[in-house]
Amino acid sequence: MEVEIKNVKKSYRKNKVLKEISLMIKAGECTGIIGANGCGKSTLLKVLAGIEKADGGEILINNQPVKWQSSQLAGYVGYVPQESVLIPELTVEDNLKLWASFGEHKKNEEILRRLGEQFQLEDFYRKKVKHLSGGMNKRVNIVCALIHQPFLLLMDEPSTSLDLVFKEELREYIRSFTAKGGSVLLSSHDEGEIAGCASLWAIKNGIAQKVPQGETIEKIVSEYMK
Amino acid sequence: MYCRLTLLKLEIKRFVGMLPFVLLETLLFGLIAVGVGIYASKAVYADKVIGKIKAGVVVEGEELMTKMLVQFVQSMDSLEGTVSLELLSEGEARKQVEKGELYGAVIIPDGMVDSILSGENLSPSILLGDGYNQAETLVFAQLAQAGAKLLTTAQAGIYAADAFCMEKGMQDRLQQTEDYLNEAYLGYALGRASVFHREEVTAIKGTSFSDYYGISFVFAFLSFAGLSFGRYVQVKACSRKKMLCLKRLFTGEQYLIETGAFAFVFSFFGMLVSLPVFFILSHSKDSTFQAAGTWFFLTGMWLVLACFLKMLIQITGNSAGGIGVCFMVLLAFIFASGGFLPPAFLPVWMEQAGSRFFYRGWMEKTGMFLQGRIGSGAVLELIVQLVLFLIVGVLAAKVRKAAEK
């Protein structure tokens, strides 16, 4: 499934964060969004996830318009925000149970079991979230986003606070996810992550522009991320 | 529905897990509250705390009416706990006042009653020692004036009778009428000491002081416990809440689920704390509590209190500043409603303000349930309050979410 967003606008009071964002997320590809701090990367992901309401623009999935913040869109998208969505006083298992309880919960629990194995969470099920390391917390957040099997995974700086081993595992997971036809849109400052993206979009002054293929990391950093 | 039940179950689990921390924090809040309460009491009453006033009465001469007046004042039950009057000679009174054994003494001059009746108005002298404070002096002065006022009122009656006789041309009957009225008025007035016999001051209608303080202690303790829970309440529209909205679990529902879980755990905690306190109190000599099935209505009371606290936290927020505001608001509510001092002893303006706060009504209803009484009106009132707090809480959650955008 291909996702296309056209002329997305978003302002916070008088601050126009996204002026006119248009970009394409191809099926089976990992697309990256880059830009300086505060350029609107997270806002764009929030708008796509439905957490924030777009002021204008449209989203097309396989060339079909989909309503912003609709349950249809929510069904397609899995979102891993920067801040944790977990309840710190509860165990990992309890948190996962909560996110599995939406929709077909029996089926979700089965998916959860598989994801738990894949992300090696079994040993942490009984642990309270507030006692998890940052990396483990992120893993659980990713699993929460994957429970309802989205085809578009939105990740806001996913490798923040992850150790090298898990960063590599995450990249591997993204590769396998896209290999199965899923799409990933991630915002990042991590060079390794950026290098792993099939296409890159840079946001500057509220407008997205495609980064030409074959640009060196040094040029990307100097031109688009400062 | 399954997701709502799951969230409710998990929220209950979360609040139960917090109980040990909440208890510790409540004790801390309690200590602060007691300190503030004592300070506030002192601020309101300064050094007006009344001890038992020991005063002397010196009656010069052998006037019967004066002695009757002193006996009348001594026989007033409402003064019994506050004042002890002792008939002394002037020399003895002066000595005891100097030694500080008496707060003061009233010296009633010979023929004072007659002088008041005749319009001459001989005043009693008042001796005051150094060991008195403001309130005690006031009470003492009032006492000394009370007798004089009683007789002054009689004098007004007599002047009225004089005027009546003059107007009707019965000047020859003046003396006879005055004598009759003097005798009749004082006879009735002094014989009416029974009027003062049952001027009972109660904190909550029909409860003893120990019952009252038991109820106010439980309310204060649970209110501050609720505040301790506040730190763990999800007030802000965080990413999780927003994502739950995407799953069609909207802000209002989320608020109601969290409040439901909080209220469930809080009411259980409330019963755990309050029942032993009330049970012990019910065995005290002057207790009006009677162990009965109506005690389980307290669960409803704690549910209402929980919803009120949750609403308050939702409005003020649960940051350090928000909890601080909440704490001050609760303290003011509890104080004005008579939680630290019975309403009868509060300044009038505070007493009136307190009667408009929910705590006063809750304390009265709690007293009612503990005495084995249930009024359908009281239960209905609690239900209405519960619904009101939930509605306001939901609105506050929605407003906060909108404001955070």
Considering the domain architecture, whether residues B119 and B229 belong to the same structural domain is answered as no
Which run of H or E residues covers position B366? helix B358-370
Q: Do B247 and A94 touch (CB under 8 A)?
A: no
Please tell me the distance from the alpha carbon of residue B260 to that of residue B205, in angstroms, as a whole number. 32
pLDDT of residue B383: 94
pLDDT of residue B394: 93
Name the residue with higher pLDDT: B255 or A69: B255
Considering the domain architecture, whether residues B186 and B224 belong to the same structural domain is answered as no
Which run of H or E residues covers position B297? none
Q: Do A12 and B240 touch (CB under 8 A)?
A: no
Q: What is the pLDDT along chain B (405 residues), one digit of tens a residue?
A: 888 999 899 989 988 888 888 888 777 777 776 777 677 666 655 544 445 667 788 877 766 666 666 666 666 554 555 567 778 888 888 888 888 777 778 787 777 767 766 666 676 777 776 655 555 566 666 666 666 666 666 677 777 888 888 888 888 887 788 777 777 766 666 555 444 444 444 445 567 777 888 888 888 888 888 888 887 787 776 788 888 888 888 888 999 999 999 999 999 988 988 888 888 888 887 788 887 778 888 899 999 999 999 999 989 888 888 888 888 888 888 888 877 777 766 777 777 777 777 888 888 888 888 888 877 888 899 999 999 999 999 999 889 888 876
Q: Cα torsion for B297, B298, B300, B305, to the nearest 10°? A: 160
Total structural domains within chain B: 2
Half-sphere exposure of B161 (CA within 13 A, CB side): 20
Hunting for tokens 């009120």 — which residue is that? B308
B6 CB within 8 Å of a chain A CB: yes
Considering the domain architecture, whether residues B153 and B270 belong to the same structural domain is answered as no
Residue ranges of the domains in chain A? 3-82+150-224
Q: Which CATH class is domain A3-82+150-224?
A: alpha beta
Q: Do B242 and A51 touch (CB under 8 A)?
A: yes
Q: Do A98 and B6 touch (CB under 8 A)?
A: yes
**In chain B, what is the straight-line distance between the N-terminal and C-terminal CA atoms, in Å?**
28
Domain of residue B105: give its range: 53-196
Where among B196, B213, B247 does a domain terminate?
B196
B250 CB within 8 Å of a chain A CB: no
Under 8 Å between Cβ of A96 and B254: no
Q: Record the pTM.
A: 0.69
pLDDT of residue B393: 92
Interface of A with B (CB under 8 A): 12, 49-52, 69, 71, 74, 79, 81, 83-87, 89-90, 94, 97-98, 101-102, 105
Of A33-37, A94-98, A104-108, A169-173, the range with the highest mean pLDDT is: A94-98
Q: Tens of pLDDT along A139-163?
A: 899 899 888 888 899 999 888 777 8
Please tell me the distance from the alpha carbon of residue B113 to that of residue B65, in angstroms, as a whole number. 7
Considering the domain architecture, whether residues B150 and B86 belong to the same structural domain is answered as yes
CATH number (domain holding residue B134): 3.40.190
Considering the domain architecture, whether residues B164 and B243 belong to the same structural domain is answered as no
The residue of chain A with its CA nearest to that of B232 is A89
Considering the domain architecture, whether residues B188 and B283 belong to the same structural domain is answered as no
Considering the domain architecture, whether residues B192 and B207 belong to the same structural domain is answered as no
- Please state, in angstroms and as integers, the Cα–Cα distance from residue B73 to each residue in B138, B274, B342, following that order: 16, 43, 27
Considering the domain architecture, whether residues B169 and B108 belong to the same structural domain is answered as yes
Note the ipTM here: 0.84
Burial annotation B327-362 (CB, 10 A radius, 16+ → b, else e): beebbebbbbbbbbbbbeebeeebbeebeebbbbbb
Q: Do B7 and A102 touch (CB under 8 A)?
A: no
- Over range A86-114, report the average pLDDT: 89
